[in-house]
Amino acid sequence: MKGAAQHLVFDVGGTQLRAALWDADRNDLSPVHAVDAPSHARHPRLSWAELRARLIAEMSLLRERLDPGGQVHSVAVAFPGPVDPDRRILAAPTLWGALGQYPYELNRELAGRWPGTRVHVLNDVSAAGYRYSNEAEDSFCIVTVSTGIGNKVFAGGRPLVGPSGRGGEIGHLQVESGPGAALCDCGGRGHLGAYASGRGLVARAREDGGRGPTEFQRSFLATCLKLEPDAVTAEALAQAYAAGDEWATRQVERASDALGGVLAALCMGVGIERLVLIGGLAVGLGPRFAKAVGGAVEGRCGLGAGSAISVKLGEIDGKCALVGGGKAAALDASR
């Protein structure tokens, strides 16, 4: 029976829009329903208003599938962008690029579409963090490495985001400057996400393969997967990386070094000693990638081997934002 313990959870991504039901009494997630996300990358000719309308329409269809009787009145939306304390969206680079007028109140639009429903919008990485926050005294940093890059520091059982809600947007920290710096989804140049996210890693690998075709032709991607540089994908890079290919390893280590440098500054500045990596790219690249990021963190911190900083992969089921979003919705409903 659906009731107060049931929460409808959405995970809005740059690639997929997913939804499931979270049962707070049983700590259980229903089977996940997924559709393609209506992003600017998939629909480059659509306006922001059209993309927004498509997102809301897809969410409504998913709700009808999961809750055809309309018995669930609590909804959590894990969203890929900064969300302020008033639950207003401040940007959505991986979903809408440089489009949009902010702050945008998705919660109000959904509540208007779904009368009588409590809508809790939160950043997707914050949502995922609730899955790993086991006690009020626990402190850690969760980092998602997927279509984009984001993080949240949790302390006292809650994410630290600051008054404007922008805390944790390391994907848009500039790590390289100048006109030749890589272009980010948001339109800026030299951001971490342009080098270490899934899209950034693939873009830089394609560029590198095009500049050095002879070296690329000796790689696993060309000899075994029969790919040309402009056909390289994140999945193909992960496969080559797992096979120990030198060319793919160099591409991934460039990304892990950039990410590790930013995380090292975070660890040294805040005192966080536990980092959890999640997201499609991190999971696809596996424990070896987590170890490389950890090595880059330790190297920058100057703490040497045996330091207290731990960098581990999170769950590999791809459900972190859904499970965590369900837990966050349950906490919100209990207040």
- Domain ranges in the chain are 6-133+318-334, 139-313
pLDDT at 11: 97
Using pLDDT thresholds of 50, 70 and 90, give the confidence band for residue 71: very high
Contact between residue 91 and residue 102 where contact means Cβ atoms under 8 Å apart: yes
Task: Give the tokens for residue 317.
Answer: 């089921």
Beta pairing, strands 139-145 & 74-79: unpaired
CA–CA distance from 324 to each of 35, 48, 132, 232 (Å)? 20, 28, 8, 32
CATH superfamily of 139-313: ATPase, nucleotide binding domain (3.30.420.40)
Q: How many CB atoms lie within 10 A of CB 237?
A: 28
Contact between residue 163 and residue 85 where contact means Cβ atoms under 8 Å apart: yes
Instruction: Give, for 219, the enclosing helix (H) or strand (E).
Output: none
pLDDT at 161: 85
Contact between residue 201 and residue 186 where contact means Cβ atoms under 8 Å apart: no
Residue 298 main-chain phi, psi, to 5 deg: -60, -40
Q: Among 71, 90, 85, 98, which residue's Cα sits nearest to residue 7? A: 71
pLDDT greater than 60 at residue 2? no
Cα gap 88→165, rounded to integer Å: 9
pLDDT greater than 50 at residue 206? yes
Instruction: Give, for 221, the enclosing helix (H) or strand (E).
Output: helix 220-223
CA–CA distance from 248 to each of 202, 217, 238, 290, 317 (Å)? 10, 12, 8, 16, 25
pLDDT tens digits along 83-116? 988 899 999 988 998 899 999 999 999 999 999 9
Cα gap 44→196, rounded to integer Å: 23
What 3-state class would DSSP assign to 77?
Answer: strand
**Given this chain, do its domains 6-133+318-334 and 139-313 carry the same CATH topology?**
yes
Q: Which range is least confidently modeled, 268-277, 300-309, 312-321?
A: 300-309
CA angle 183, 185, 190 (to 5 degrees): 35
Q: Among 1, 14, 43, 7, which residue's Cα sits nearest to residue 333? A: 7
- pTM value is 0.83
pLDDT greater than 80 at residue 228? yes
Q: Among 90, 61, 59, 88, which residue's Cα sits nearest to residue 75? A: 59
CATH code linked to domain 6-133+318-334: 3.30.420.40
| Amino acid at site 60 | S
pLDDT at 81: 86
pLDDT tens digits along 112-171? 999 999 999 999 999 999 999 876 667 899 999 988 898 999 988 889 888 877 788 899
Cα gap 76→126, rounded to integer Å: 12
| Amino acid at site 127 | A
Average pLDDT over residues 8-36: 95
What 3-state class would DSSP assign to 80?
Answer: coil
